[in-house]
Chain A
Amino acid sequence: SQQGEEDPQALSIQEGENATMNCSYKTSINNLQWYRQNSGRGLVHLILIRSNEREKHSGRLRVTLDTSKKSSSLLITASRAADTASYFCAPMDSNYQLIWGAGTKLIIKP
Chain B
Amino acid sequence: DVKVTQSSRYLVKRTGEKVFLECVQDMDHENMFWYRQDPGLGLRLIYFSYDVKMKEKGDIPEGYSVSREKKERFSLILESASTNQTSMYLCASEGAATGYGYTFGSGTRLTVV
A residues engaging B (CB < 8 A)?
A: 1, 3, 31, 33, 35, 40-45, 48, 88, 92, 97-98, 100-103
**Count of chain A to chain B residue pairs whose CB atoms are closer than 8 Å in the complex:** 49
Known: A41-B107, A42-B90, A42-B107. A48 touches B100 (CB 8 A): yes
Chain B residues with a Cβ under 8 A of chain A: 4, 35, 40-45, 59, 88, 90, 92, 98-107, 109
Q: Which residues of A contact B44 (CB under 8 A)?
A: 100
Compute how far the CA of A92 lies from the CA of B101 in the bound complex, rounded to whole angstroms. Answer: 10
24 A-B Cβ contacts within 8 A?
A1-B59, A33-B101, A35-B104, A40-B88, A40-B109, A41-B106, A42-B4, A42-B90, A42-B104, A42-B105, A42-B107, A43-B43, A43-B102, A44-B104, A45-B98, A45-B104, A88-B42, A97-B45, A98-B43, A98-B45, A98-B102, A100-B42, A100-B44, A102-B40
CB atoms of A45 and B107 under 8 A apart: no
